[in-house]
Every structure is written in structure tokens, then in C-alpha cells.
Amino acid sequence: MSPLLEVQNLRVTFDTETGPVEAVRGVSFSLGRERLGIVGESGSGKTMTGRAVLRLIRPPGRVEADRMVFDGQDLIAASEREMRALRGQRIGMVMQDPKYSLNPVMNVGAQLTEGLRLRDGFGRADARAKAIAALEAVQIRDPERVMEAYPHELSGGMGQRVMIAMMLIPEPDLLIADEPTSALDVTVQAEVLSILDALVRDRGMGLIFISHDLRLVARFCDRVLVMYKGRVVEEVEAKNLLAARHPYTQGLLNCLPRIGGSRAPLPGLDRTGAWTQEGTP
Amino acid sequence: MSLIEIDNLSVTFRAKGREVRAVEAVSLTVAARESYGLVGESGSGKSTILRAICGLAPISGGSIRIGGVPVATPRGRAFAARVQMVFQDPYASLHPRHTIDRTLSEPLAIHGLSGSDARVVKALEDVGLPAAFRFRFPHQLSGGQRQRVAIARALMLEPEILLLDEPTSALDASVQAEVLNLLDRLRDERGLTFLMVSHDLAVIDHMTDRVLVMQNGRAVEELTRAALAGARMTTDYARSLFDASADRMLDPAKEAP
């Protein structure tokens, strides 16, 4: 089976007054109908990688790649019009922060049904029924109330689930989830992950799961890319993550506290190793 | 005698004819120099307890005593000198148009304390930031640095009690480790008492001696550190929280289902 998404040598560059800054430097990966995790600290370029796939990087940022193909379609050569047809419909993206990603002056119901009514030509009642079903699918207990609520009236976890519901309504083939669960509680997190998991399994959706939480990614994804300063420093099968050899990956794992672990100070991340210098210009 | 005694505390918010019972009849005690954790989902009322202690949430029943004395309303300067809070989001809790110097010296000015210059430099040093940072604005700092400033601010009046509301949940794992180490060191050096809220059971376990599990505004179960590590919880909810903790998933002995 040919991969759903193929990316070769992706670069994202921002031209600044002090010269070009490369946020992503030559990332390559391919994705089938599976769960791919991208992990790294803030500023490692993981979010930029996700956004670059949808060409959502505004000037002065530039996206370059030797090859970036989604389901046979070249994303680098695609026109803005073709990209618009892909965004949302075929490739969905769940953003990081519901506070800034939902429209603050529209209630949830209006936001959820807007696309259904304008794009898919649903009637008011049908669109509403579908939106409520989507909210139920992300385990929102009283969808009727949430439909009438404005984003500021929702907790972070609720807002995040509303965004996931919104992205899942058009049933995309590929979902890019940028820290979709970092605002959620562990128990809710597990529910949201199982929703995403079911979608990958039942509908054959591809998923790019961007997170800073290495343990979460390891538990949930099939493969993990570990990024540092715009590069992929290691690619591992999630089940072998504990055996990861790269010092950065190990550092990220060791700095997390553990239940029943030692009370000694947590080991910090060593940024002095030879690997931090790799390929820096 | 316990330093913090909370007895049957209830907090009820009333708006537009609706009542939300954020905290219902929660009791807990924290001894001096102890570190106590509150854990639960969002909306479980754990942060509201901290806010009620500070007078930021309306107390509708029960009592809060600090050092055996019921807290006064409004809380006043004497309270601020004893109890300080560190908030979750360092992006929102520092005044964006005040320099770090102004943020840190304001409590000193309010309390009429002298020598603010030396104290600000000392405070920055204590949280591991260079003295030159005092002339920066919050937007010139990273998230971890801001949280260090927020901790420095809370410590300016040399309080006995620090209320920590998810102090690391907005930070990267590696930065979280640094901030947790900093808090641990400060507690050790200054004999602080911590009341810490987190949704991350692993963080709570690392930082505290006892933990209260909360759900829907009620106390579910209190666990000692040993009971938590040994998974000896008696309620289903505490167990489900424990099982869902991402920390457990990489344990090779307990393969995830």
C-alpha cells in the first residue's frame, strides 16, 4: 500500500532581520493509516512540521520540501484553491489551545454547524443533529447545553473536545492533532485517546499526534519521531521507546517523575553532549 | 497542631439563578513543613480550595484556620505575609507591562519593607535567574523563567505556606523537572509548607507526603505516599485515576491493556 502522506526533506524557514531562522531542518517521514507521534520540547519544530503539511505557515515563513505528497496529490505544487479543498475535508487539524482557536463570539452550535450548512448543504435540523452526535462522540455529557454555550463558558477540556468534534465531522483521512490532550485530565485524556484510536482503527484514518509528553505518545502511537531543534534525532517503534538510545530521548524520559519513584532531584536534560551540535550551521 | 486546618469547607457560586457547588464539605489538615497534594479532574474543586484559602472564592460553609486562627475577611497584609500562591499559567499571572523588578518589589512596597533593591537581586538568585533579568518584561522570558519569577514573587514576603496551583502543567517535561527541583530545594531550605494542586499523579507523588483525591467537589480518598506507590487505594475513582496516569504505561512489568 502506498503511504497516505510522504514527506522528504521538509524545511520551514523564517526570514528575520538577523538572517534566516530554520524552524524545521530537513524532516522526512512517511505515514500510512497508522498513528505517528512527534515529540519534542517547545521550539523543537514539531508544531511547525504539522502546520507545514497543511501549508498553514504564513509569510515571511517559507515551506520547502523535496517531496510532500498526500494520497497522490503534490502538496508543494497544489494551488491555494486545491489546498482549501483539502484542509478540513481530507486533512483535519486539532489545534493546541481552545481559548485561541474557537471563535469567541459564536456559540458552539453555530461553529459546529457552520461548515455542515454552508459546505455540505445540510438543513438546520440535520446539521444540529449531526453536531450533537459529534459532541456525544467525544463524551460530552449534556451536548444540548454545550451547543448553546460560548467558548468562554467552557472549561479547557470541554473546549478541546469541541474542537476535536468539529474536526471529526467531515471525516478526514488524515488528522493532525497538535497537543490535543495536554489541556485535559488524565481520565478524560484516556477517553479522547480512545476516540482517536477507534477512528484510526475503524475508518483507517491516519493520525499525526504532536505532543511533548513522551510517555503518552509511547503508549498511544505506533511510531515516534523525536525532534530537537528542527531535526528528527531519533525514530523509534513506540514499544521500543524504553530502549531508545539517543541521549536526548533518554533525557526526556528520565526527567519525568514517577509514582513511587525516588525523591532525589529529577535529572535535568543535558544539553552539552556532542549530539546538540549536529548539523548546526 | 496543624498549620492549615480546613473543616467542612463548602464553596458555592451563584450566577443567573444557577448554583454551582464547587466544593462540598471537604476537610483536611496540613502540618507545618508538610507537603500536601490535591489531585482530581478539572472541575473537581481542587483549585477552588486554594482560592478559597486566599479569599478569591466565596466560602459558603465550614471554616479555614491557619495556625489555629480562623482567617479574617478580607484577608489583609498579615495573611499575605504568611500565605502566598503560585498560579498555573505564568503567562497570565505576571503583569505584562511591569518589569520583573516592579513585580518583585511591589509586595515589599505594600508591606513597607526596606532594602527592596538587595531583596530583589537575592530573590532572583534564589530561583536561579541572573540578576540582570530584573529589568526585563515577562514577554522577554521563557515559560520556565516566568514560573521562576512567579515563585520568587510568592517568596518575597518570606511566607510559611505556599499554595501551588498546577505550577508546572504549562511547562515542558524538562523544564518541569527544573521547577520541581527548585520547589523541593526551597522547601528544604526555608521550611515551607506546601499545599499543591495538580492533575498529574506522578508530579503529586514526587512532591507531596499525603494526597487527597477529589471528584465533583468532594473528597474521595486520602492517600499517603506509601499507599499510592503500593496502589493500596480503596475507592474505584482513585484507582481509575491511578491507572490512567501516563506514568504507568511505560512500566514494562504492567503492560498496558
Nearest to B215 by CA among B55, B24, B30, B63: B24
pLDDT at B142: 84
Say if residue A220 is in the same domain as residue A262: yes
* E strand or H helix at B69: strand B69-70
B249 contacts in chain A (CB < 8 Å): 215-216, 218-219
Q: Last residue of some domain: A171, A193, A212? A: A171
pLDDT at B254: 40
Chain B residue at shortest CA distance from A263: B206
- Domain-embedded: residue A5: no
Distance between CA atoms of residues B56 and A120, nearest Å: 47
Contact A50, A178 (CB under 8 A): yes
Say if residue A200 is in the same domain as residue A281: yes
* Mean pLDDT estimate for chain A: 84
B205 inside 8 A of chain A by CB:
yes
- Domain-embedded: residue A254: yes
Given CA atoms A258, A264, A269, A273 in this order, what sign does their dihedral have?
negative
CA angle B40/A219/A139 to nearest 5° reads 50
Contact A160, A184 (CB under 8 A): yes
pLDDT at B174: 82
Say if residue A156 is in the same domain as residue A190: no
* E strand or H helix at B116: helix B116-126
* Mean pLDDT estimate for chain B: 88
Instruction: Calculate mean pLDDT across residues B219-235.
Output: 90
Say if residue A231 is in the same domain as residue A166: no
Given the cut 0.95, state whether the ipTM is greater than it: no
pLDDT at A9: 92
Cell numbers given for B31: 502540618
Say if residue A117 is in the same domain as residue A41: no
* E strand or H helix at B43: none
Instruction: Calculate mean pLDDT across residues A220-228.
Output: 89
CA-based R_g, chain A, Å = 20
Q: Which residues contact A64 (CB under 8 A, 6 or more apart)?
A: A10, A11, A12, A13, A76
Cell numbers given for B102: 516592579
pLDDT at B126 over 60: yes
Instruction: Calculate mean pLDDT across residues B188-201.
Output: 91
Say if residue A261 is in the same domain as residue A246: yes
Say if residue A265 is in the same domain as residue A219: yes
Q: In chain A, positions 38-57, which contact chain B (CB-CB < 8 Å)?
A: 41-42
Instruction: Calculate mean pLDDT across residues A246-257.
Output: 83
A172: cis peptide before it, omega within 30°? no
Say yes or no for a CB contact (<8 Å) between A260 and B172. Answer: no
Between B116-126 and B100-110, two packed helices, what is the crossing angle to 10 degrees? 120
- The per-residue pLDDT for range A12-31, each reduced to its tens digit, is 998 888 888 888 998 999 98
* Domains observed in chain B: 35-56+71-246 (3.40.50.300)
The domain containing residue A230 runs over which residues?
33-56+75-90+173-281
Say if residue A186 is in the same domain as residue A253: yes
Give the whole-number percent of chain B exceeding pLDDT 70: 95
Give the whole-number percent of chain B exceeding pLDDT 90: 60
pLDDT at A281: 44
| CATH number of the domain within which A263 lies | 3.40.50.300
Q: Which residue, among A256, A263, A276, would best test binding to B if mutated, counting the most B CBs under 10 Å from its CB?
A: A256
Maximum alpha-carbon separation in chain B = 60
pLDDT at B257: 36
Give the length of chain B: 257
Say yes or no for a CB contact (<8 Å) between B206 and A157. Answer: no
